[in-house]
Amino acid sequence: MTTTDSGALRRTALNDAHLALGARMVPFGGFEMPVQYSSILKEHDAVRKRAGLFDLSHMGQFELRGPNVGEWAEALTINKVANMKPGQARYNVFTNEHGGAHDDVIFYRLGDERWLLVVNASNADKMWAHVSDKRSGDLQLTNMHGERALIAIQGPRSVEWLQPYVDADIGTLKYYACAEMRVRGTHDPIVIARTGYTGEDGFELFLPADEAVGVWDLLLAENRERGLEPCGLGARDVLRLEAGMPLYGHELTEEITPVQAGIGWAIKFDKPAFTGKDALLAQRDGNDYSRIVGLTMEGRVPARAGYPVFANGAQAGEIRSGSWGPTVEKNIATALVQPSAAAEGTKLEIEVRGARHAATVVPLPFYKRAKS
């Protein structure tokens, strides 16, 4: 993965492969990334019905080593880390003193003293500075952002289409579990995790950058005719929105807390202490905070981030994410609204280019896959 100077967009190891497939490339998180290949709708359909292939090599990857990584991480994050066993993955959020989110992340415990931390691409530099500043004891940190690749295969046929190239039974991996396995085209075992950001079953493959093209080409060459589609950021954003998954900078920010974002399930208030705990407790107990809700729009006009939301004629919040939801066949959105406008079934109005359009508060997620 390369960059020509400090101001240039970086390119993942799969950049040439994206261009060869006709991808439309856009800047994202400091990298040149594919936003779509054929169409967002076609790629979305592939993931919901078959499987899609994503390049996520722009995500930040940090290696953490030491006997007390779990305890160190617990003091900085809302979820428990120290009780994770090797082979487990866990969603988490690094918080500031006011309870706002530095970033939402995933910890992967690979061994007794070896961990992988994956952070959002747009926050990679910020998070590296944060964990480096908070480093203590004999904790060893290695920044692999841009030095390693990450490929995801997501969709109901992901097990079937990935299994022939792996030397272990990936079907036995539980959701949010990980293991090191050998994949055809890799010299050494790589980390494979049953995680993803689409609302579907699937896997994420963490591998050396110089082996990414071989694995990407192999999966497409033997499965493209069956319906495996290369997918870009556009489809990924719609998929995660339908699945009610927060996107940093939208449903979570330095000002929007995990309590407001509706991910209170990840906050373990029984931990002795962590950054922002007191602020989050006060917010939860006061229950007078603006919060993220789901909305469905009436009609064909989509809501977009930043559009104002009105309740009974007065502004009550703003849209944080919005899109046509192909699976639910409605325009859907998330909004940060006052508590008086947050109850399920509440009728709201969204101002779009000077005109107001009706919307209704609905539960999140908009879509949840059926259990197999």
pLDDT tens readout for residues 47-103: 999 999 999 999 999 999 999 999 999 999 999 999 999 999 999 999 999 999 999
Residue 267 in domain: no
Give the single-character DSSP code of 44. Answer: H
Do 213 and 294 share a domain, yes or no? no
pLDDT tens readout for residues 329-354: 999 999 999 999 999 999 999 999 99
User: First-to-last CA distance in the chain?
Assistant: 38
pLDDT of the residue at 3 = 39
Q: Give the CATH number, domain containing residue 349.
A: 2.40.30.110
Q: Give the CATH number, domain containing residue 28.
A: 3.30.1360.120
Count of domains for the chain: 2
pLDDT band of 2, cuts 50, 70, 90: very low
pLDDT band of 228, cuts 50, 70, 90: very high
Bridge partners of residue 295, in order along the sequence: 333, 361
Do 335 and 200 share a domain, yes or no? no
pLDDT band of 5, cuts 50, 70, 90: very low
pLDDT of the residue at 372 = 61
pLDDT tens readout for residues 137-181: 999 999 999 999 999 999 999 999 999 999 999 999 999 999 999
Tell me the H-state helices in 79-139. 124-134
Answer yes or no: are the C-beta atoms of 242 and 332 closer than 8 Å.
Answer: yes
Q: What is the mean pLDDT of the chain?
A: 96
pTM value is 0.96
pLDDT band of 371, cuts 50, 70, 90: confident
Pick the closest to residue 17 from 177, 214, 155, 306 (CA basis): 214
Please enumerate in sequence order all residues whose Cβ is within 8 A of that of 185, keeping only pairs 6 or more positions apart, or say none.
Answer: 165, 211, 214, 215, 218
Do 166 and 30 share a domain, yes or no? yes
Residue 304 in domain: yes
Residue 208 in domain: yes
Q: State the virtual CA torsion across 247, 250, 252, 256 in degrees, nearest 10.
A: -170
Q: How many CB atoms lie within 10 A of CB 259?
A: 23
Amino acid residing at 150: L
E strand intervals along the chain: 10-11, 24-28, 31-36, 51-55, 60-65, 89-95, 101-109, 114-119, 140-143, 148-154, 178-181, 190-193, 202-208, 228-231, 291-297, 308-311, 314-325, 330-337, 347-352, 355-362
Residue 153 in domain: yes
Q: Which two tokens stand for residue 58?
A: 């722009």
Tell me the residue range of the domain where 54 lies: 10-58+146-242
Distance CA 88, CA 119 (A): 17
Q: Which two tokens stand for residue 94?
A: 């690094």
pLDDT of the residue at 4 = 36
Q: State the virtual CA torsion across 45, 179, 144, 69 in degrees, nearest 10.
A: 120
Do 298 and 233 share a domain, yes or no? no
